[in-house]
Amino acid sequence: MGYKKIVLTFGFLFLTCAHLTAVEVNEIKPPLAVKETKESDQQIGDFSLSGFGDKGKKSWDLAGKSADIFSEVVKLKKVVGNNYGQNDVINLTADKGDFNKQSGLVHLQDNVVITTASGSKLTTDTLDWDRKQQIVSTLDKVNLSRADMNLSGQGALGKTGLKQIMLEKDIRLDIQARDLQVNKKEKILITCDGPLDVDYEKNIAIFNNNVKVEKSDLTIYSDKMQVYFTAKQQNNALAKGPAVLSSSVNKIVALGNVRILRGENISYSQEAIYTAIDKKITLTGKPQIIIYQTENINAASGN
């Protein structure tokens, strides 16, 4: 039978342990000496909780500077958590947090920050951490940053390691992308109503509803957009997984009611593919191009 072991450590003159099955918490025994409070059953300092997976390897831990222990919930202050994945180490911090003793769910609140060894940083006001399913979620505004990229939106659901994440609405992605032709950075802004699905391992972001891309040389509107990024190999020894998303845009596929503004010229189509290496745009699905003539026609005809 496979069991996980949970260890509680209290920062006084004692240690006490509790064993949990992989399914539920059977019991958390109170320490021998606790301070009784009106707000909770017990109050302790320097609370820590750890979980171990196969072969006794630590899979996660959770700690707080102090804890109020209720019948179902442990309320923590100055929370620090870590998730030890196969390819990445994830750190979670917050001013406050609740640990549900039966479900094992963790709710973090105020100044919530997730950082990963591979270089991602997520900030929000509240966050729910499901350790068993390896999922984090929130209804609040989220800001997710990586090198040369900053993503924001309202509401998020993703894997704990942030390699796959979905943002619900009010999406904004700011990129300092590298121009492959001149080998320098250029600013790209992508917005949409949402939702947005990002897969950092597959190097793709899918934007939905009222999508708009703004670059220095063109603006693209569409119903849906697939943005492909150039893969970037990881140098961090703690992040040995596949290549991760870089800030270099490789290709943009716009779908549905596509409108492209390039200077004074406008094109319409049902699909458009933009390739960054040659800055070429291919239109399909009843393409229409409107070109504005800027020359003086009378002078050109000799009249």
pLDDT attached to residue 293 = 61
Whether the predicted pLDDT of 82 surpasses 70? yes
Whether the predicted pLDDT of 245 surpasses 60? no
The CATH class of the 163-303 domain is: mainly beta
Q: Which of 28-32, 170-174, 180-184 has the highest mean pLDDT?
A: 170-174
Whether the predicted pLDDT of 28 surpasses 70? no
Report the CATH number of the 1-130 domain. 2.60.450.10
Beta-carbon count within 10 A of 302 CB? 5
- pLDDT interval class at 124 (50, 70, 90): very high
Average pLDDT over residues 264-292: 90
Lowest mean pLDDT among 41-45, 99-103, 165-169, 198-202: 41-45
Whether the predicted pLDDT of 36 surpasses 70? no
pLDDT attached to residue 300 = 41
- pLDDT interval class at 261 (50, 70, 90): very high
Whether the predicted pLDDT of 226 surpasses 90? yes
pLDDT attached to residue 207 = 98
- Where are the domain boundaries for CATH 2.60.450.10 in the chain? 1-130, 163-303
Q: Name, in order, each residue with C-beta under 8 angstroms of 1's C-beta and a sequence gap of 6 or more.
A: none
Whether the predicted pLDDT of 126 surpasses 70? yes
pLDDT attached to residue 283 = 94
Whether the predicted pLDDT of 7 surpasses 60? no
Whether the predicted pLDDT of 129 surpasses 50? yes
- Tens of pLDDT, residue by residue over 149-164, are 899 999 999 988 888 9
Mean pLDDT over the full length of the chain: 79
pLDDT attached to residue 269 = 96
